[in-house]
Amino acid sequence: MTDYFISPDILLYVLDMMGIVACAVAGTLLAQHKGFDIFGCVLVAMVNAIGGGTMRDIALDRHPLFWMTDHNYVIGITLVSLAMQMFFHLSHKIGTVIKVFDAVGLAAFSVIGFKVALSMGVSPAIAVMMAVWTSIIGGMIRDIICNEIPLVLQREIYITASVAGSCVYLMLDALNVKTGVNDFVMLGTIFTIRILAMRFDWHLPSIRLVK
Amino acid sequence: MTDYFISPDILLYVLDMMGIVACAVAGTLLAQHKGFDIFGCVLVAMVNAIGGGTMRDIALDRHPLFWMTDHNYVIGITLVSLAMQMFFHLSHKIGTVIKVFDAVGLAAFSVIGFKVALSMGVSPAIAVMMAVWTSIIGGMIRDIICNEIPLVLQREIYITASVAGSCVYLMLDALNVKTGVNDFVMLGTIFTIRILAMRFDWHLPSIRLVK
Amino acid sequence: MTDYFISPDILLYVLDMMGIVACAVAGTLLAQHKGFDIFGCVLVAMVNAIGGGTMRDIALDRHPLFWMTDHNYVIGITLVSLAMQMFFHLSHKIGTVIKVFDAVGLAAFSVIGFKVALSMGVSPAIAVMMAVWTSIIGGMIRDIICNEIPLVLQREIYITASVAGSCVYLMLDALNVKTGVNDFVMLGTIFTIRILAMRFDWHLPSIRLVK
């Protein structure tokens, strides 16, 4: 009885996988620069791609972890990481594609984390936190392993976009908008903010009252 | 039938919140120095304040996590972090207050971690470890995120104070002292050791037999 | 009815403990170099020795954690770390022994992680990952705490040895070799690869197609 051409769940899954690919590529590239070996690169790719969702599932006591039942994650990340290592010399050519995929990932991971948290019965405030965790922690652990200051915590409009998207969802929900619509408005909001932030080099201003 | 003016549980909760405030302030200040954005600072404040208790709850399989049911933690940390960012120029004026709050937090987190662990049925040795985890891991992850060597592991009498307090508790318990009393003797021991260590610049000596 | 002189389980436990000792020693030595205090060194020793198994148990929702029921781990690590701090001046004399113990640990931790994962009903692909987790994550967190790039991710044939051992196990299993035999062939494979890698300074080549 659905009147969608593609079901929303499948669309979200495809966007999720685009985010996974972006994270696997970004993790592998950073690991290569640090001189890690083949499996070290695969491990950093894994951490970047599924670290956030793993921490979310552990915090919410949701077992088995999502990548234990759906092998597409682990196998996909491994293949992408190996391919990326083989074709490392082409990495500068795919910069823009990866940045767009990364923004898709930020949006998809946030929506999934937010909805998983709500489905586990937590309050909206905690769901907003879980959206941030899911989309941010992977990149944070990646940078920590590689001994860098986490990029996502700096003036880069990552967490801000995720929080803004969650707030839009909660506002629409309060107005009784249909759930499937909410999801995609949240997704679009996060993606748009992130893309605009990159395009126009937006940074969050400091809120200090005296400079 | 209680003859306390304030119940011990409420007193412990107040002390816990003082520790949370100290951690939120310290996390925000360090994050500001590292140039993190508004939400990056809030995230570091969160990690510093509730990271240890979260890892304790996960290790003990205690769900939902303590801050998922009591929203005072998440909301309080967010507000403290935002206020601290706005009034950053006043931060040098509150140094002493924050150090005292931090010592209160070390003591309160240790007592809470210790008692939560015992209530989950673990042995005293593991409960001592959990007291250390609860009081130390937040600050450790904060320093790791900010790419610093963790302060709490250096010659600063943090873990030492926590372990000493737990040992005092276990000794009193072996002597059949009433539980409520134990708690506050443990709390006082940790607080006193930490304050004295700061005041007189105490450092744990090395135990090397040959220098 | 067993015809073994020593039961396989006891042998694996002894090898496990050798790995724990090696990790406790290595963690303590690194922590000493970083200037951590007595308990800071004990904590890094703990993280190095039981961090991987802890993360495996948490990921697999296996509670209580293995070191909460068997106190030999926590007590053994503490004693080894304290002894190592007292006799720090002898540390250069035991370098070779510790390297061999470390290789034993890599092999034993991998086998234990792999079998624990299979016993929890996960697929072989996830079990290979869990073997790597159990044997690698402790050293990774140790290096992260000490603000170093994780050694195990670099061209050092750690993960490679663990993955190779798991693959050998799965191949033998497909050929219907008896389980106890599998275990020790896996163990021997990992140990041998790691020892040869150290002896002949093997490094995993990069798989870049264009240099």
Rounded to a whole number of angstroms, the distance from the CA of B163 to the nearest CA of chain A is 27
Question: Is the CB of C125 less than 8 angstroms away from the CB of A68?
Answer: no
Rounded to a whole number of angstroms, the distance from the CA of A132 to the nearest CA of chain B is 10
ipTM above 0.95, yes or no: no
Q: Which residue of C has its CA nearest to B160?
A: C39
Residue B186 inside a domain? The answer is: yes
Question: Is the CB of B43 less than 8 angstroms away from the CB of A132?
Answer: yes
Residue C71 inside a domain? The answer is: yes
What does chain C come to in residues? 211
For residue B27, which residues of chain A lie inside 8 Å, CB to CB?
Answer: none
Question: Which tokens go with B206?
Answer: 């090395």
Q: Give C 176-195 residues with CB within 8 A of chain A.
A: none
Q: Which residue of B has its CA nearest to C37?
A: B155
For residue A61, which residues of chain C lie inside 8 Å, CB to CB?
Answer: 61
Region A181-189: what's the mean pLDDT?
A: 92
pLDDT band at A67 (very low <50, low <70, confident <90, very high): very high
Q: Does C31 touch chain B (CB under 8 A)?
A: yes
Nearest CB neighbour to A40, from listed C147, C154, C207: C154
Calpha distance B159→B141 (Å, rounded): 15
Question: Is the CB of C40 less than 8 angstroms away from the CB of B153?
Answer: yes
Q: Could you tell me the residue range of the domain that residue B194 belongs to?
A: 8-199
Share of chain B above pLDDT 90, in %: 70
pLDDT value at C49 more than 90? yes
If 0-12 CB within 10 Å is exposed, 13-18 middle and 19+ buried, where does residue A123 land? middle
Question: Is the CB of A149 less than 8 angstroms away from the CB of B147?
Answer: yes
Q: Give B 47-106 residues with CB within 8 A of chain C.
A: 58-61
Comparing B52 with B209, the larger pLDDT belongs to B52
Q: Which residue of A has its CA nearest to C58?
A: A58
Encoded amino acid at B38, one letter: I
Residue B211 inside a domain? The answer is: no
Region C38-43: what's the mean pLDDT?
A: 94
Question: Is the CB of A155 less than 8 angstroms away from the CB of B71?
Answer: no
Question: Is the CB of B209 less than 8 angstroms away from the CB of C68?
Answer: no
Comparing A1 with A116, the larger pLDDT belongs to A116
Query: C192 near C17, Cβ under 8 Å?
Result: no
Query: B50 near B106, Cβ under 8 Å?
Result: no
- Residue A211: the pLDDT is 62
Question: Is the CB of B145 less than 8 angstroms away from the CB of A153?
Answer: yes
Share of chain B above pLDDT 70, in %: 97
Count other C-beta atoms under 10 Å from residue A120's C-beta.
19
Domain count, chain A: 1
Q: Which residue of C has its CA nearest to A32?
A: C206
Nearest CB neighbour to C154, from listed A37, A144, A147: A37
Question: Is the CB of A159 less than 8 angstroms away from the CB of B86?
Answer: no
Region B180-185: what's the mean pLDDT?
A: 88
For residue B210, which residues of chain C lie inside 8 Å, CB to CB?
Answer: 88-89
Residue C53 inside a domain? The answer is: yes
pTM for the full predicted model:
0.92
Rounded to a whole number of angstroms, the distance from the CA of B125 to the nearest CA of chain C is 8
Rounded to a whole number of angstroms, the distance from the CA of B77 to the nearest CA of chain A is 13
For residue C85, which residues of chain B lie inside 8 Å, CB to CB?
Answer: 206-208
Calpha distance B112→B57 (Å, rounded): 11
Nearest residue to A46 (alpha-carbon basis) of A29, A28, A68, A60: A28
Nearest CB neighbour to A87, from listed C123, C147, C209: C209
Residue A151 inside a domain? The answer is: yes
For residue B46, which residues of chain A lie inside 8 Å, CB to CB?
Answer: 129
Rounded to a whole number of angstroms, the distance from the CA of A149 to the nearest CA of chain B is 6
pLDDT band at B26 (very low <50, low <70, confident <90, very high): very high
What DSSP string describes B106-135? HHHHHHHHHHHHHHTT--HHHHHHHHHHHH
Comparing A99 with C130, the larger pLDDT belongs to C130
pLDDT value at C1 more than 60? no
Residue C168 inside a domain? The answer is: yes
pLDDT value at C4 more than 60? no
pLDDT band at A86 (very low <50, low <70, confident <90, very high): very high
Rounded to a whole number of angstroms, the distance from the CA of C202 to the nearest CA of chain A is 12
Nearest CB neighbour to C122, from listed A35, A38, A68: A68
pLDDT value at A2 more than 80? no
Neighbours of chain C (3+ CB pairs under 8 A): A, B
Q: Does A201 touch chain C (CB under 8 A)?
A: no
Nearest CB neighbour to C160, from listed A39, A64, A89: A39
For residue A59, which residues of chain B lie inside 8 Å, CB to CB?
Answer: 54, 58, 65
Rounded to a whole number of angstroms, the distance from the CA of C208 to the nearest CA of chain B is 30
Question: Is the CB of C209 less than 8 angstroms away from the CB of A86?
Answer: yes
Q: Does B121 touch chain A (CB under 8 A)?
A: no
- Residue B1: the pLDDT is 43
Question: Is the CB of B36 less than 8 angstroms away from the CB of A154?
Answer: yes
Q: Does B118 touch chain C (CB under 8 A)?
A: no
Nearest CB neighbour to B208, from listed C63, C68, C85: C85
Q: Does B156 touch chain C (CB under 8 A)?
A: yes
Rounded to a whole number of angstroms, the distance from the CA of C12 to the nearest CA of chain B is 24
Show Cβ contacts of residue C41 under 8 Å, excluding neighbours closer than 6 positions: C27, C28, C31, C32, C81, C84, C85
pLDDT value at C95 more than 90? no
For residue A34, which residues of chain C lie inside 8 Å, CB to CB?
Answer: 149, 153
Neighbours of chain B (3+ CB pairs under 8 A): A, C
Residue B2 inside a domain? The answer is: no
Q: How far is CA C122 from the centre of its chain?
A: 20
Region A154-174: what's the mean pLDDT?
A: 92
Comparing A88 with C130, the larger pLDDT belongs to C130
Nearest residue to C98 (alpha-carbon basis) of C203, C158, C19, C193: C19
Q: Does B140 touch chain C (CB under 8 A)?
A: yes
Calpha distance B82→B70 (Å, rounded): 20
- Residue B4: the pLDDT is 57
Encoded amino acid at A97, one letter: V
pLDDT in tens, B70-108: 999 999 999 999 999 999 888 888 878 888 988 999 999
Region A24-44: what's the mean pLDDT?
A: 93
pLDDT band at C5 (very low <50, low <70, confident <90, very high): low
Share of chain A above pLDDT 70, in %: 97
Residue C204 inside a domain? The answer is: no
| DSSP assignment letter at B175 | T
